[in-house]
Structure 1
Amino acid sequence: AQLSGLSRGAHVVVGTPGRVIDHLERKSLDVSSLEHLVLDEADEMLAMGFAEDVERILADTPEYKQVALFSATMPPQIRSLAKRYLHDPLDIATKASRTTTTTVRQRWIPVAHHGKIDALTRILEVEPVGEKTQEGAGPGGAMIVFVRTKQATEELADKLRSRGFSAAAINGDLVQAQRERTVAALKSGAIDILVATDVAARGLDVDRISYVVNYDIPHDTEAYVHRIGRTGRAGRSGEAILFVTPRERRMLSAIERVSGRPIEEMGVPSVEEVNARRAGRFAQTITSSMGSPQFHVFRSLVEEYAQENEVTMLDVAAALAVMGVDDREFFLRPDPPQSKRVREDRPD
């Protein structure tokens, strides 16, 4: 279809850098008379490793043409590209937002790098991520977690799944069809947590995202504003949580200046908070299960078992609860004393 369309002639050709180069090499795309060239999401293309492809395409086109380069940010690589391939370019910049939205509650957690996964796990335990707000409502609030690299998205999503959370990764390596399936799963409630890079989350608009976690602090303040803009839209409230290691306090100060107000410090949820939430969810599960059509069937079976084995119904209920957790410890163990944790964190 592409070949036949190009052979008939086209006023406008839209394509990815790799696909455009493919047609240039096959001589199926003639750009010798090109008059206009648009590079959309230029910073994203360079971040995804298309710098050489973009320069190859620009080099193959006529020297004099109208070029429009669109970019959400202007890193040095973009400015260098413009300097080499654009003649007397006009720089048009929209006024950047200097403050973050007031509908998003912003908090930060002081945490060591190796403690991030446990901190995130505890946050997921105590915050209502994925929980329905009322009986019969749609899927509850979702969370997007930002990391710096494509590899980190996969690794963190795997760790979260191994801990029982419904998580998926989204990064520049995903083909468009796979990205669309992942976003659709987030919208429907099939998954509650999306681990993403800045580039992969560009343009993401999902109403149910109520939490944004900056697992890795962004490299600049503008990226922070874009990240937390994934929540708190259309007047809805949202939550933004920023993980800050000791060496990143300076960036925290810069982010606070952009936010226009101090960001509230919070602690990692305690063992007591996590265990209280676990007990509360356990009680809710019991209450909802009593309304199941199968309740009376199982009640009869339990009653029969208790009579035959001369045990109480309470003991049978406890045994069934143990079956539900696969012998894993239900409650977190108390944190070790602070002095002991400090010693354990030191390298040998």
Structure 2
Amino acid sequence: MSQDFVAEMVTDFSELGLIEPLLRALNSAGYTEPTPIQAKMIPHVLAGNDVVGQAQTGTGKTAAFALPLLNQLKPTKKATPQILVLAPTRELAIQVSEAFKSYGANLNNLRVLPIFGGQEYAGQLQQLHLGVHVVVGTPGRVMDHIRRGSLKLSTIRSIVLDEADEMLKMGFLEDVEWVLEQAPKERQIALFSATMPDSIRRIAATHLNNPVEITIKNKTATAATISQHYLTTNGFNAKREALAKILEAETVDGMLVFVRTKMQTVELAEYISELGHSVAALNGDIAQSQRLRTVEQLKSGKLDILIATDVAARGLDVERVSHVVNFDIPFDTEAYIHRIGRTGRAGRQGRAILFLTPRERTMLKSIERATRQKIEQMALPTVAEINAKRIAAYKNTISETLSTDCSFFAGLINDYCSENGTSAELVAAALAKMAQGKTPLLLPEEPRRQIRRERTERTDVSQKRSTEQRPRKGRHVGLPPEEGMDRYRIEVGEVHGVKPGNIVGAIANEADISSDHIGRINIFEEYSTVDLPYGMPHQVLRLLHGARINGRPMRVRRDEEATQDTPRKFDRSGKNGASKGQKPMKSVQRKGPGKSRSSAQPAYK
């Protein structure tokens, strides 16, 4: 039975038949009107029906199953598992468990336990032994506990499969089916998924009993409460300067900044911290306990900015996140949707900003098609706008200080003015200068844009000449690798009929590297060089080593001395040696992502 959402539905949680302790918890949290998925789903779950819900992230689906399941929780002498929720990631498992605790805050002795990999077994085993009502876990860790006998499913009354399509993508569906096969035959199942591929429908048909299907059709794939803008920039340094200006010009409560690599999270966090902001990095290399503490600090206001890889793209629900910045554009549209879904949730206003290089405009169009929303271009805040905000903030600080008792200092200033014949205005100016210290209050106007344009024009002319004129014998052409790039040598050159497109295609296809991440290419008579992102994984280089161009193996090796004047060749030992008389034939300038990375950070996680 399929039911689509229609307008004029339940407008108050009190109309849904929930018990009073749950209504009090909702009222305390400020929730009065159910979302469409909640209004349609809760009555069916309360009635004991199996349900299939299709809704995007951020629509309030957690409450759609948590509230009615808590409503039906049966008291026992010792807490036994009655509700099992399977989630694809540890972050989502933590979020769902916290939601259960929040909604059940007024229930007597409710015990909720999240279990997931990366966390020691000892604590989980102890909590399971003491007894819990609700278990929220990732499929792998849930399976481990079932096999150990520490998690017994005989008392389970309800099972929730949250974000089933994501579990499919992560290869968890076989694990999910195994867990379902261990559960009692008489149990209620709620399945939630943003999309409904055939494999998800097969699970529903196999394990659910005549389920009620509820689809919430959104006009857009992203919440209407999120304003989306993009900013055209290029290079890591330019991006971080733009981020610094945005932090100064906009009113930010909490901010998530998504970058592509683990090293970038650390480097960017250090840069933002030096500007005086409370910031932390979050990536897969950080211990799970520290990651949990970091998220709690963001929630409590001890941190304002989190620089993260996509490890935080799912399951992170922090109410005070007002901004999401895509410092690096994600590789797919779904990742973009999930990233910006961390703001503008449950009716709150949010702002998403995408940093975009000129080469990435095609991806922007793909995102707009996927979200069915136009992403507007924004201008970088000007120095004048930032200075105006700084002045306003300074004046506001004065007003706040004047609202306190300043009588002692007022008398002190009056005495000073009388003794020295100085006006109160000049004394106030001197005190303001003392308080500001050596750090200027205002940013200087920097007429650097014209200089950069002239320098770029000169560089373009120089590069054009270098490609048009054949260099002298024995002279190495091409500039050093761009910032954040390494140079590699491949044993295919002009005499083998190689062209830049052959090199780009081979690398992109064999190693699954976007052509945007391939930098400058120099083609010589018998070999070529290509600039690739810093920190290329060894397994990728091994793959490229045997790849072929025009029937010849590439034999990719690091070209550590490629910026020297004399071109080189590799001897059989793999060491570099001088190649006398080797003429470089072609130099192709490809502006890949090199300038978007510092030389100290890898391009891969």
Q: Which residue of 1 aligns with 2:451?
A: 340
**d(CA) in 2 for partners of 1:95, 1:344:** 54
Q: Which residue of 1 aligns with 2:107?
A: none
**d(CA) in 2 for partners of 1:210, 1:18:** 29
Q: Which residue of 1 aligns with 2:273?
A: 161
Q: Which residue of 2 aligns with 1:244?
A: 356
Secondary structure of the corresponding residue to residue 206 of structure 1: coil
Paired AA for residue 251 in structure 2: P
After TM superposition, list the pairs within 5 Å mapping 1:120-135 onto structure 2: 120-129=243-252
Q: Which residue of 2 aligns with 1:92?
A: 200
**d(CA) in 2 for partners of 1:201, 1:322:** 44
Q: Which residue of 2 aligns with 1:61?
A: none
Change (3 A) 1:320 1:262: same
Quick check: 1:228 aligned with 2:340?
A: yes
- Of the three residues 298, 306, 324, the one matched with 2:409 is 298
Q: Which residue of 2 aligns with 1:186?
A: 298
Q: Which residue of 2 aligns with 1:52?
A: none
Paired AA for residue 407 in structure 2: H
- Of the three residues 233, 246, 251, the one matched with 1:111 is 233
- Of the three residues 367, 379, 396, the one matched with 1:255 is 367
Gaps of 5+ in 2: 1-83, 85-113, 123-135, 145-160, 179-197, 202-214, 460-478, 481-605
- Of the three residues 101, 104, 109, the one matched with 2:223 is 101
Quick check: 1:40 aligned with 2:138?
A: yes
Q: Which residue of 2 aligns with 1:33?
A: none
Please give the per-residue CA displacement for 1:59-109, whole angstroms capped at 9, x wherever unaligned. xxxxxxxxx99662766xx56x989xx99xx82279998721111110000
- Of the three residues 411, 425, 438, the one matched with 1:327 is 438
Q: Which residue of 2 aligns with 1:270?
A: 382
Preserved CA contact (<8 Å) 2:165 2:200:
no
RMSD: 3.7
Change (3 A) 1:324 1:91: farther
Paired AA for residue 40 in structure 1: T
Q: Number of matched residues? A: 287
Q: Which residue of 1 aligns with 2:264?
A: 152
Q: Which residue of 2 aligns with 1:46?
A: none
**d(CA) in 2 for partners of 1:323, 1:182:** 35
Secondary structure of the corresponding residue to residue 354 of structure 2: strand
**d(CA) in 2 for partners of 1:197, 1:340:** 35
Change (3 A) 1:342 1:289: same
Cα distance, 1:320 vs. partner?
A: 2.0
Change (3 A) 1:17 1:192: closer
Cα distance, 1:15 vs. partner?
A: 6.6
Preserved CA contact (<8 Å) 1:107 1:264:
yes
Please give the per-residue CA displacement for 1:294-328, whole angstroms capped at 9, x wherever unaligned. x1122222333333344322222222222232211
Preserved CA contact (<8 Å) 1:99 1:259:
yes
Higher relative contact order (CA 8 A, sep 6+): 1
Cα distance, 1:157 vs. partner?
A: 1.3
Secondary structure of the corresponding residue to residue 234 of structure 1: helix
Paired AA for residue 241 in structure 2: D
Change (3 A) 1:225 1:305: same
Q: Which residue of 1 aligns with 2:166?
A: 72
- Higher mean Cα deviation, 188-197 or 243-252? 188-197
Gaps of 5+ in 1: 1-11, 24-37, 43-56, 58-67, 130-140
**d(CA) in 1 for partners of 2:139, 2:286:** 17
Paired AA for residue 235 in structure 1: G
Cα distance, 1:179 vs. partner?
A: 2.2
Cα distance, 1:344 vs. partner?
A: 5.0
Change (3 A) 1:306 1:119: same
Paired AA for residue 119 in structure 1: A
- Among all aligned residue pairs of Structure 1 and Structure 2, give the percentage whose two residues are the same amino acid: 44
Secondary structure of the corresponding residue to residue 213 of structure 1: strand
Q: Which residue of 2 aligns with 1:34?
A: none
Preserved CA contact (<8 Å) 1:110 1:246:
yes
Larger strand percent:
2
Cα distance, 1:228 vs. partner?
A: 0.8
- Higher mean Cα deviation, 118-127 or 174-183? 174-183
